[in-house]
Amino acid sequence: MSNRMWGGRFGSGPDDIMEEINASIGFDQRLFAQDIRGSLAHAEMLVAQGIISAEDGASISQGLTQILAEINAGEFTFSRALEDIHMNIEARLAELIGPTAGRLHTARSRNDQVATDFRLYVRDTLDHLAAQISTLMGVLVTKAEAHADTIMPGFTHLQPAQPVSFGHHILAYVEMLSRDHSRLMDARKRMNESPLGAAALAGTGFDIDRHATAQALGFDAPTGNSMDSVSARDFALEALSAAAICATHLSRLAEEIVVYTTPNFGFFTLPDAFSTGSSIMPQKRNPDAAELIRAKSGRIIGSLTGLFIVMKGLPLAYSKDMQEDKEGVFNALDSLSLCLAAMAGMMDTLGVDKTAMHQAASKGYSTATDLADWLVREAGLPFRDAHHATGALVAMAEDKACLLDELSLDDMQSVNASITQGIFDVLSVENSVKSRTSYGGTAPDNVRTMVAKWQAWLKATEAAQ
């Protein structure tokens, strides 16, 4: 049996192995909505340009609309023998309206068709992911507002460094996510050009209107070079890059959830909905959702690397290698969407133990920097001298097995005679946090100011969507 798609060039169809390696319908069937949108726009343009008749255009549109309804209703049968989503839809269209279906492919190729479908799909998905990021940001901003005055230890090298507001800590992730949102929207803007009408690689001799199809599909303009149109996948690489960075941010937050829910810290408690038990240890509450978010970052980063490798050696224009562009993108963007939803759910229901956080913030001499700053500000010491004196006082407190603010004034003055009773005003974790009023600092009033800023940003972003 000859393969209709290849016409008379081949006398027999591919064998089972060729069909197995060549078929993409198992994964690209999810492009059905985008494929039908592109075909409807193309058919409308062909009619407007007088390339096909209005009657044929109406039949094609009616048939495509019926196919869309069939797929949405689960009544469409996808065939591996027809290879991909484009040929599956075209074959069904021929069953519905007869030979007129063949006119739809006038002035286009599967090359520009798939490039258009893929751009539409990635663009639609970026809109969805951006909305999910905004939702997660809203959850975190609400959490930060509730904990502007909650004190926790701030860490460097996972060692106690300085006390901070928990609200300030959470807003750090809001900043990261805002950049993720911006990257997705930047990628969307750059990809928003239509390849439709570029045909196989050289354009077409038909008098088509690529600006009309671009406008009909919500693109800003048609792409400017037919060879680039069908061979470019940097839009997918950029989307995956933004997704990988976002997944890395989520993985860092997931790691903190894993660490801070351990009894060693006891800062967080996860609800049952985002925890699992052990098959043998009844006391266990495992943060499996956080651990899976942490792991899925590897899957997403791997998809980015995989597509880079597919594309790095391809000459212009289209090569069949590019069929391998979609599964990784689909999987990565699906994974990121799931991770964003899970993280929003976890953070919304996360229990916070303020007492455990405060106690931990009081340990490790986390206000030592405040002591050094006081020596500079009040006693006039050069910072390096103040740093040395503070180190000596920390060593003394360690020897006495006490906190810095439990040292006596005599103890303090034995290290530096210029120290006065006023030193004790800066040694509490509360005063330390309140004193960090520089822009971007951890003071509770700063946190509340930033919360208001992000609430306004989220409101404006929601209105613009």
Residue 257's region, left for phi above 0, alpha for psi from -120 to 50, else beta, is alpha
CB 34 within 8 A of CB 40: no
Output the six-digit token pair for 271: 């609800």
From 12, 157, 279, 438, the catalytic residue: 157
CB 60 within 8 A of CB 46: no
CB 203 within 8 A of CB 226: yes
Angle, CA of 282, 287 and 291, to the nearest 5°: 135
Is 42 noted as a catalytic residue in this protein?
Answer: no
Output the six-digit token pair for 346: 């976890």
Phi and psi angles of residue 160, each rounded to the nearest 5 degrees, phi first: -55, 130
Does residue 148 have a cis peptide bond before it, meaning omega lies within 30 degrees of 0?
Answer: no
From 278, 319, 408, 418, the catalytic residue: 278
Output the six-digit token pair for 352: 């916070």
Separation of alpha carbons 75 and 324, rounded Å: 28
CB 148 within 8 A of CB 354: no
Contacts 24+ apart (CB under 8 A), 273-280: 273/345, 273/349, 274/342, 274/345, 274/346, 274/349
383 contact partners, CB below 8 Å, separation of at least 6 = 372, 376
Separation of alpha carbons 453 and 451, rounded Å: 5
Is 181 noted as a catalytic residue in this protein?
Answer: no
Q: What residues are annotated to the active site?
A: 157, 278
